[in-house]
Amino acid sequence: MIDKIKTLLNEVNGFNASSLQDVEQFRIKMLSKKGEISALFEEFRNVPVEQKKEVGLKLNELKNAANEKISMLKTALETSGSGKSETDLFLPAESMKLGTRHPISVVRNQIIEIFNRLGFVISEGPEIEDDWHVFSALNFPEEHPARDMQDTFFIEKSPDVLLRTHTSSVQVRVMENEKPPIRTISPGRVFRNEAISARAHCIFHQVEGLYIDENVSFADLKQTLMYFAKEMFGENTQIRLRPSYFPFTEPSAEVDISCNLCGGKGCNMCKHTGWVEIMGCGMVDPNVLEECKIDSKKYTGFAFGMGIERITILKYQIKDIRLFFENDVRFLKQFESAL
Protein backbone atom coordinates (compact mmCIF):
# COMPACT_ATOMS: atom_id res chain seq x y z
CA MET A 1 0.00 0.00 0.00
CA ILE A 2 2.94 2.29 0.65
CA ASP A 3 3.90 1.86 -3.03
CA LYS A 4 0.41 2.86 -4.18
CA ILE A 5 0.58 5.98 -1.99
CA LYS A 6 3.98 6.94 -3.41
CA THR A 7 2.72 6.43 -6.97
CA LEU A 8 -0.31 8.67 -6.39
CA LEU A 9 1.85 11.28 -4.58
CA ASN A 10 4.13 11.48 -7.61
CA GLU A 11 1.07 11.88 -9.82
CA VAL A 12 -0.27 14.68 -7.62
CA ASN A 13 3.06 16.51 -7.54
CA GLY A 14 3.47 16.23 -11.29
CA PHE A 15 -0.09 17.26 -12.19
CA ASN A 16 -0.68 20.53 -14.03
CA ALA A 17 -3.83 22.01 -15.58
CA SER A 18 -4.73 24.55 -18.24
CA SER A 19 -8.32 25.13 -17.14
CA LEU A 20 -10.55 24.94 -14.11
CA GLN A 21 -12.34 22.06 -15.78
CA ASP A 22 -9.11 20.00 -15.74
CA VAL A 23 -8.68 20.82 -12.04
CA GLU A 24 -12.21 19.68 -11.26
CA GLN A 25 -11.73 16.41 -13.14
CA PHE A 26 -8.52 15.76 -11.21
CA ARG A 27 -10.32 16.50 -7.93
CA ILE A 28 -13.03 13.97 -8.80
CA LYS A 29 -10.43 11.39 -9.80
CA MET A 30 -8.52 11.72 -6.53
CA LEU A 31 -10.84 12.96 -3.79
CA SER A 32 -14.41 12.08 -4.68
CA LYS A 33 -16.16 9.22 -2.84
CA LYS A 34 -15.09 6.84 -5.60
CA GLY A 35 -11.72 8.50 -6.12
CA GLU A 36 -8.35 6.80 -5.85
CA ILE A 37 -7.37 8.38 -2.54
CA SER A 38 -10.76 7.57 -1.05
CA ALA A 39 -10.26 3.98 -2.18
CA LEU A 40 -6.93 3.84 -0.30
CA PHE A 41 -8.71 5.02 2.87
CA GLU A 42 -11.08 2.07 2.43
CA GLU A 43 -8.12 -0.30 2.10
CA PHE A 44 -6.57 1.21 5.22
CA ARG A 45 -8.96 -0.87 7.32
CA ASN A 46 -7.09 -4.01 6.26
CA VAL A 47 -3.62 -2.74 7.09
CA PRO A 48 -1.92 -4.68 9.90
CA VAL A 49 -1.99 -2.90 13.24
CA GLU A 50 1.80 -2.55 13.42
CA GLN A 51 1.79 -0.68 10.05
CA LYS A 52 -1.23 1.57 10.64
CA LYS A 53 0.78 4.50 12.04
CA GLU A 54 3.24 4.64 9.15
CA VAL A 55 0.58 4.07 6.48
CA GLY A 56 -1.81 6.55 8.11
CA LEU A 57 0.82 9.32 8.08
CA LYS A 58 1.62 8.67 4.43
CA LEU A 59 -2.07 8.57 3.51
CA ASN A 60 -2.79 11.90 5.23
CA GLU A 61 0.27 13.39 3.54
CA LEU A 62 -1.12 12.31 0.17
CA LYS A 63 -4.57 13.75 0.85
CA ASN A 64 -3.16 17.09 2.08
CA ALA A 65 -0.88 17.31 -0.95
CA ALA A 66 -3.83 16.73 -3.28
CA ASN A 67 -5.95 19.41 -1.58
CA GLU A 68 -3.11 21.94 -1.65
CA LYS A 69 -2.37 21.22 -5.30
CA ILE A 70 -6.01 21.64 -6.32
CA SER A 71 -6.37 24.85 -4.31
CA MET A 72 -3.16 26.31 -5.75
CA LEU A 73 -4.15 25.53 -9.34
CA LYS A 74 -7.64 27.00 -8.87
CA THR A 75 -6.23 30.22 -7.48
CA ALA A 76 -3.67 30.53 -10.25
CA LEU A 77 -6.21 29.92 -13.02
CA GLU A 78 -8.81 32.31 -11.54
CA THR A 79 -6.19 35.04 -11.13
CA SER A 80 -4.89 34.64 -14.67
CA GLY A 81 -8.41 34.55 -16.11
CA SER A 82 -7.91 31.10 -17.56
CA GLY A 83 -10.89 29.63 -15.77
CA LYS A 84 -13.36 30.69 -18.42
CA SER A 85 -15.54 27.67 -17.89
CA GLU A 86 -16.37 28.98 -14.38
CA THR A 87 -17.41 32.46 -15.58
CA ASP A 88 -20.88 33.14 -16.93
CA LEU A 89 -20.63 36.38 -18.87
CA PHE A 90 -24.40 36.57 -19.18
CA LEU A 91 -25.10 36.74 -15.44
CA PRO A 92 -26.74 40.07 -14.50
CA ALA A 93 -24.48 42.47 -12.61
CA GLU A 94 -25.19 43.18 -8.97
CA SER A 95 -26.65 46.65 -8.57
CA MET A 96 -24.57 48.91 -6.34
CA LYS A 97 -26.51 50.77 -3.71
CA LEU A 98 -25.50 54.40 -3.65
CA GLY A 99 -25.08 56.15 -0.33
CA THR A 100 -26.78 59.40 0.62
CA ARG A 101 -25.74 62.61 2.25
CA HIS A 102 -26.53 62.95 5.93
CA PRO A 103 -29.57 65.22 6.51
CA ILE A 104 -27.36 67.64 8.48
CA SER A 105 -25.02 67.90 5.49
CA VAL A 106 -27.96 68.38 3.13
CA VAL A 107 -29.40 71.28 5.12
CA ARG A 108 -25.97 72.77 5.82
CA ASN A 109 -25.26 72.92 2.09
CA GLN A 110 -28.67 74.48 1.43
CA ILE A 111 -28.06 77.20 4.05
CA ILE A 112 -24.61 77.96 2.64
CA GLU A 113 -25.96 78.13 -0.90
CA ILE A 114 -28.69 80.60 0.09
CA PHE A 115 -26.28 82.98 1.81
CA ASN A 116 -23.73 82.61 -0.99
CA ARG A 117 -26.30 84.24 -3.27
CA LEU A 118 -26.25 87.24 -0.94
CA GLY A 119 -22.47 87.53 -1.10
CA PHE A 120 -21.59 85.79 2.17
CA VAL A 121 -18.34 83.80 2.13
CA ILE A 122 -17.50 80.80 4.34
CA SER A 123 -15.10 81.15 7.26
CA GLU A 124 -13.95 78.28 9.46
CA GLY A 125 -11.99 78.03 12.69
CA PRO A 126 -10.75 75.57 15.34
CA GLU A 127 -13.13 73.55 17.50
CA ILE A 128 -10.72 73.77 20.46
CA GLU A 129 -10.65 77.44 21.39
CA ASP A 130 -9.55 79.85 24.10
CA ASP A 131 -11.65 81.94 26.44
CA TRP A 132 -10.91 85.16 24.56
CA HIS A 133 -12.45 84.11 21.23
CA VAL A 134 -15.42 82.25 22.75
CA PHE A 135 -16.38 84.61 25.59
CA SER A 136 -14.28 87.68 26.40
CA ALA A 137 -14.15 89.22 22.92
CA LEU A 138 -17.91 88.70 22.64
CA ASN A 139 -18.74 90.82 25.67
CA PHE A 140 -19.47 87.94 28.07
CA PRO A 141 -18.98 89.12 31.67
CA GLU A 142 -16.72 87.03 33.89
CA GLU A 143 -19.65 85.84 35.99
CA HIS A 144 -21.75 84.76 32.98
CA PRO A 145 -23.18 81.23 33.50
CA ALA A 146 -21.90 80.09 30.09
CA ARG A 147 -18.41 80.10 31.60
CA ASP A 148 -19.41 77.45 34.18
CA MET A 149 -18.29 73.85 33.72
CA GLN A 150 -21.96 72.86 33.88
CA ASP A 151 -22.45 74.56 30.50
CA THR A 152 -19.05 74.33 28.77
CA PHE A 153 -16.53 71.56 28.15
CA PHE A 154 -13.13 72.75 29.40
CA ILE A 155 -9.94 70.94 28.37
CA GLU A 156 -8.22 69.30 31.35
CA LYS A 157 -10.06 71.64 33.70
CA SER A 158 -8.22 74.61 32.22
CA PRO A 159 -10.01 77.93 32.64
CA ASP A 160 -8.77 79.15 29.27
CA VAL A 161 -8.94 76.17 26.84
CA LEU A 162 -12.32 74.75 25.90
CA LEU A 163 -14.49 73.22 23.18
CA ARG A 164 -16.23 76.11 21.44
CA THR A 165 -19.86 76.60 22.44
CA HIS A 166 -20.75 78.55 19.28
CA THR A 167 -19.13 79.46 15.97
CA SER A 168 -19.13 83.13 16.95
CA SER A 169 -15.48 82.47 17.82
CA VAL A 170 -14.82 82.23 14.09
CA GLN A 171 -16.41 85.65 13.58
CA VAL A 172 -14.04 87.12 16.16
CA ARG A 173 -11.07 85.69 14.27
CA VAL A 174 -12.40 87.16 11.01
CA MET A 175 -12.85 90.62 12.59
CA GLU A 176 -9.33 90.44 14.03
CA ASN A 177 -7.73 89.63 10.68
CA GLU A 178 -9.89 91.39 8.09
CA LYS A 179 -11.02 94.95 7.55
CA PRO A 180 -14.64 95.90 6.77
CA PRO A 181 -16.67 95.37 4.72
CA ILE A 182 -17.05 91.86 6.13
CA ARG A 183 -19.77 89.48 5.02
CA THR A 184 -19.25 85.92 6.20
CA ILE A 185 -20.97 82.80 7.52
CA SER A 186 -19.29 80.27 9.79
CA PRO A 187 -20.77 76.75 9.74
CA GLY A 188 -19.35 74.19 12.13
CA ARG A 189 -19.69 71.77 15.02
CA VAL A 190 -20.10 73.09 18.56
CA PHE A 191 -20.23 71.54 22.03
CA ARG A 192 -22.22 72.27 25.16
CA ASN A 193 -22.39 70.40 28.44
CA GLU A 194 -26.04 69.36 28.21
CA ALA A 195 -27.92 66.17 28.99
CA ILE A 196 -28.81 64.23 25.83
CA SER A 197 -32.53 63.95 25.16
CA ALA A 198 -34.99 64.03 22.27
CA ARG A 199 -34.70 67.84 22.19
CA ALA A 200 -31.06 68.47 23.16
CA HIS A 201 -27.58 67.07 22.55
CA CYS A 202 -24.07 67.85 23.78
CA ILE A 203 -22.86 68.05 20.16
CA PHE A 204 -24.65 69.97 17.44
CA HIS A 205 -23.98 72.19 14.41
CA GLN A 206 -24.42 75.90 13.83
CA VAL A 207 -24.28 78.44 11.05
CA GLU A 208 -23.58 81.97 12.20
CA GLY A 209 -23.52 85.02 9.97
CA LEU A 210 -21.82 88.41 10.23
CA TYR A 211 -22.10 91.57 8.12
CA ILE A 212 -20.10 94.70 8.96
CA ASP A 213 -19.96 97.82 6.83
CA GLU A 214 -20.86 101.49 6.92
CA ASN A 215 -24.55 102.29 7.52
CA VAL A 216 -25.67 98.70 8.15
CA SER A 217 -29.09 98.82 9.85
CA PHE A 218 -31.56 96.53 11.57
CA ALA A 219 -33.69 96.78 8.42
CA ASP A 220 -30.85 95.13 6.47
CA LEU A 221 -30.84 92.31 9.02
CA LYS A 222 -34.59 91.79 8.79
CA GLN A 223 -34.54 91.74 4.99
CA THR A 224 -31.68 89.22 4.95
CA LEU A 225 -33.49 86.87 7.33
CA MET A 226 -36.77 87.24 5.41
CA TYR A 227 -34.98 86.18 2.22
CA PHE A 228 -33.42 83.19 3.96
CA ALA A 229 -36.72 82.01 5.48
CA LYS A 230 -38.57 82.14 2.18
CA GLU A 231 -35.77 80.34 0.32
CA MET A 232 -35.46 77.61 2.96
CA PHE A 233 -39.09 77.02 3.96
CA GLY A 234 -41.14 78.33 1.03
CA GLU A 235 -42.39 81.57 -0.49
CA ASN A 236 -45.38 81.82 1.86
CA THR A 237 -43.21 81.78 5.00
CA GLN A 238 -43.49 84.80 7.28
CA ILE A 239 -41.08 85.89 10.02
CA ARG A 240 -41.40 87.83 13.24
CA LEU A 241 -38.72 89.20 15.55
CA ARG A 242 -39.11 89.18 19.34
CA PRO A 243 -36.89 91.28 21.62
CA SER A 244 -34.23 89.20 23.38
CA TYR A 245 -30.77 89.48 24.92
CA PHE A 246 -27.34 88.29 23.81
CA PRO A 247 -24.08 89.68 25.24
CA PHE A 248 -22.61 90.35 21.79
CA THR A 249 -25.56 92.09 20.09
CA GLU A 250 -27.63 95.15 20.97
CA PRO A 251 -30.49 95.29 20.19
CA SER A 252 -31.07 91.52 20.04
CA ALA A 253 -33.99 89.44 18.81
CA GLU A 254 -35.28 85.90 18.47
CA VAL A 255 -36.52 85.01 14.98
CA ASP A 256 -39.70 82.98 14.48
CA ILE A 257 -41.17 81.66 11.25
CA SER A 258 -44.78 80.83 10.52
CA CYS A 259 -45.24 77.10 11.10
CA ASN A 260 -44.67 75.33 7.78
CA LEU A 261 -46.69 72.33 8.94
CA CYS A 262 -50.00 74.02 9.75
CA GLY A 263 -49.47 77.25 7.81
CA GLY A 264 -49.67 79.32 10.98
CA LYS A 265 -53.04 77.96 12.10
CA GLY A 266 -51.67 76.10 15.14
CA CYS A 267 -50.52 72.51 15.67
CA ASN A 268 -48.41 70.37 18.01
CA MET A 269 -45.15 71.39 16.34
CA CYS A 270 -45.72 75.10 16.96
CA LYS A 271 -47.50 74.46 20.28
CA HIS A 272 -50.65 75.92 18.72
CA THR A 273 -49.09 79.38 18.42
CA GLY A 274 -48.60 79.35 14.65
CA TRP A 275 -44.91 80.30 15.09
CA VAL A 276 -41.66 78.34 15.47
CA GLU A 277 -38.33 79.78 16.65
CA ILE A 278 -35.37 79.25 14.30
CA MET A 279 -32.51 81.55 15.38
CA GLY A 280 -31.19 84.50 17.33
CA CYS A 281 -29.88 87.76 15.84
CA GLY A 282 -29.08 91.38 16.49
CA MET A 283 -26.85 94.36 15.78
CA VAL A 284 -23.22 93.77 16.73
CA ASP A 285 -22.49 95.42 20.08
CA PRO A 286 -20.03 98.35 19.70
CA ASN A 287 -17.90 96.83 22.47
CA VAL A 288 -17.35 93.73 20.32
CA LEU A 289 -16.26 95.87 17.38
CA GLU A 290 -13.83 97.83 19.52
CA GLU A 291 -12.34 94.66 21.06
CA CYS A 292 -11.57 93.49 17.51
CA LYS A 293 -10.01 96.87 16.56
CA ILE A 294 -12.93 97.99 14.36
CA ASP A 295 -14.07 101.60 14.66
CA SER A 296 -17.61 101.36 16.06
CA LYS A 297 -18.30 105.02 15.18
CA LYS A 298 -17.66 104.37 11.50
CA TYR A 299 -18.92 100.82 11.10
CA THR A 300 -22.04 98.95 12.21
CA GLY A 301 -23.04 95.37 11.60
CA PHE A 302 -25.48 92.58 12.29
CA ALA A 303 -25.02 88.96 13.32
CA PHE A 304 -27.26 85.91 13.43
CA GLY A 305 -26.91 82.28 14.45
CA MET A 306 -28.97 79.15 13.91
CA GLY A 307 -28.72 75.48 14.82
CA ILE A 308 -28.59 73.26 11.72
CA GLU A 309 -30.32 70.45 13.63
CA ARG A 310 -33.14 72.87 14.48
CA ILE A 311 -33.61 73.86 10.83
CA THR A 312 -33.46 70.20 9.74
CA ILE A 313 -36.03 69.16 12.34
CA LEU A 314 -38.44 71.85 11.14
CA LYS A 315 -37.82 71.18 7.45
CA TYR A 316 -38.35 67.40 7.67
CA GLN A 317 -40.59 67.20 10.79
CA ILE A 318 -38.12 65.03 12.75
CA LYS A 319 -39.13 64.45 16.36
CA ASP A 320 -35.90 63.23 17.98
CA ILE A 321 -32.54 65.00 17.63
CA ARG A 322 -30.71 61.81 18.63
CA LEU A 323 -31.55 60.28 15.25
CA PHE A 324 -28.92 62.53 13.66
CA PHE A 325 -26.13 60.82 15.63
CA GLU A 326 -27.20 57.14 15.70
CA ASN A 327 -26.44 56.24 12.06
CA ASP A 328 -29.63 54.20 11.78
CA VAL A 329 -29.76 53.16 8.11
CA ARG A 330 -33.56 53.09 8.20
CA PHE A 331 -33.55 56.77 9.09
CA LEU A 332 -30.82 57.81 6.66
CA LYS A 333 -32.45 56.01 3.71
CA GLN A 334 -35.33 58.50 3.90
CA PHE A 335 -33.00 61.16 2.49
CA GLU A 336 -31.99 59.30 -0.67
CA SER A 337 -33.84 61.84 -2.81
CA ALA A 338 -32.29 64.86 -1.03
CA LEU A 339 -29.65 66.89 -2.84
Q: What is the CATH classification number for the domain harbouring 156? A: 3.30.930.10
**C-beta atoms surrounding 308 within 10 Å:** 23
Q: How confident is the model at residue 257 (pLDDT cuts 50, 70, 90)?
A: very high
Report yes or no: 145 and 151 within 8 Å, Cβ to Cβ. yes
Angle of helix 2-14 relative to helix 49-80, nearest 10 degrees, comes to 10
For residue 88, tell me if it sits in a domain. no
Last residue of a domain, one of 52, 83, 114: 83
Same domain for 245 and 140? yes
Which domain covers residue 161, as residue numbers? 103-335
- β-bridge pairing 300-307 and 275-284: antiparallel
Same domain for 294 and 220? yes
**Residue 294: its pLDDT value, please?**
94
Each residue of 263-314: pLDDT tens digit?
777 777 778 888 999 999 999 999 999 999 999 999 999 999 999 999 998 8
Same domain for 24 and 150? no
Same domain for 257 and 186? yes
Report yes or no: 32 and 38 within 8 Å, Cβ to Cβ. yes
**Residue 109: its pLDDT value, please?**
94
Who wins on pLDDT, 74 or 286?
A: 286
**Residue 147: its pLDDT value, please?**
62
3-state secondary structure of 154: strand
Which burial class, exposed, middle or buried, applies to 219 when counting CB atoms under 10 A from its CB (0-12, 13-18, 19+)?
exposed
For residue 197, tell me if it sits in a domain. yes
**C-beta atoms surrounding 334 within 10 Å:** 13
Strands (DSSP E) contained in the chain are: 121-122, 128-130, 161-163, 182-191, 203-213, 239-246, 249-258, 275-284, 300-307
Would you report the helix, strand and coil content of the chain in percent, each value rounded to 5? 45, 20, 35
For residue 295, tell me if it sits in a domain. yes
Q: How confident is the model at residue 63 (pLDDT cuts 50, 70, 90)?
A: confident
By C-alpha distance, which of 181, 170, 141 is closest to 294? 181
Amino acid at 7: T
Same domain for 107 and 65? no
Same domain for 21 and 136? no
Each residue of 166-205: pLDDT tens digit?
999 999 999 999 999 999 999 999 999 888 888 889 999 9
Same domain for 271 and 138? yes
For residue 95, tell me if it sits in a domain. no
For residue 28, tell me if it sits in a domain. yes
Average of per-residue pLDDT across 28-51: 80
Report yes or no: 229 and 206 within 8 Å, Cβ to Cβ. no
Same domain for 194 and 291? yes
Q: How confident is the model at residue 126 (pLDDT cuts 50, 70, 90)?
A: very high
**Residue 83: its pLDDT value, please?**
47
Same domain for 107 and 73? no
For residue 94, tell me if it sits in a domain. no
Same domain for 172 and 279? yes
pTM: 0.68
For residue 326, tell me if it sits in a domain. yes
DSSP symbol at 98: P
Last residue of a domain, one of 49, 83, 117: 83
> Which phi-psi region, left, alpha or beta, contains residue 317 (left: φ > 0; alpha: ψ -120 to 50)?
left
The residues facing 246 across adjacent strands are 249
Same domain for 78 and 127? no
**Is residue 33 pLDDT above 60, yes or no?**
yes
The residues facing 256 across adjacent strands are 240, 277
Considering only 93-97, 152-156, 251-255, 293-297, which range has the smallest mean pLDDT?
93-97
Distance (Å) of CA 116 to CA 111, 125, 143, 218, 284: 9, 19, 37, 20, 21
Same domain for 300 and 163? yes
Domain tally, the chain: 2
